[in-house]
Amino acid sequence: MKQAVQLLPSLVFGGTCDQAMKFYKDVFGGELVVNYYRDMYEMPENEAHKVMHAELDNEFMTLFAGDTVPGATTIFGDNVRVCVAGGDVAKIGAFFNALAEGGEVFMPFEKQAWGQELGMLTDKFGTHWMMATRV
């Protein structure tokens, strides 16, 4: 069987990737694998905690992440949101509420005029999320 091509979100952090991915594991569940730059390269002490690659997998999604390459600066933008969509309103709503803790809600997770529940927020790590149910 052919492997399907996937579009996978990959988040970039400025040194908080380890914390963020542990938080996302608490929210979404699944298995988290983290590889640090220090495991592959000699690193200055102040950058030894940085994540080279992290992958969170569960039954419905895969999320990649890492910290900015040592010596570089992370610039956060407003042009990308990670969308989590599904048919289980309670589950999507629970994800929204968990991600909202310590973050900023721009649109509450609620039923929209077209019949779909939708909400948007930025979590405490600066990641923009959109939670949506499918009708």
Average confidence score pLDDT of the chain: 90
End-to-end CA distance of the chain: 30
Contact 52, 37 (CB under 8 A): yes
Is residue 15 classed as helix, strand or coil in its secondary structure?
A: coil
Q: What's the chain's Rg over C-alpha atoms?
A: 16
Q: In this structure, what token pair is assigned to residue 74?
A: 């992370």
Arithmetic mean of pLDDT, 102-118:
93
With a cut of 80, say whether residue 76 has pLDDT above it.
no
| Element holding 45 (H helix, E strand) | none
Predicted confidence band of residue 2 (pLDDT cuts 50, 70, 90):
low
What are the Cα distances from residue 92, in Å, to 8, 30, 89? 19, 15, 5
Arithmetic mean of pLDDT, 18-30:
97
**Could you report the per-residue pLDDT of 29-42, keeping only the tens digit for each?**
999 999 998 888 88
Q: Percentage of the chain with pLDDT > 90?
A: 64
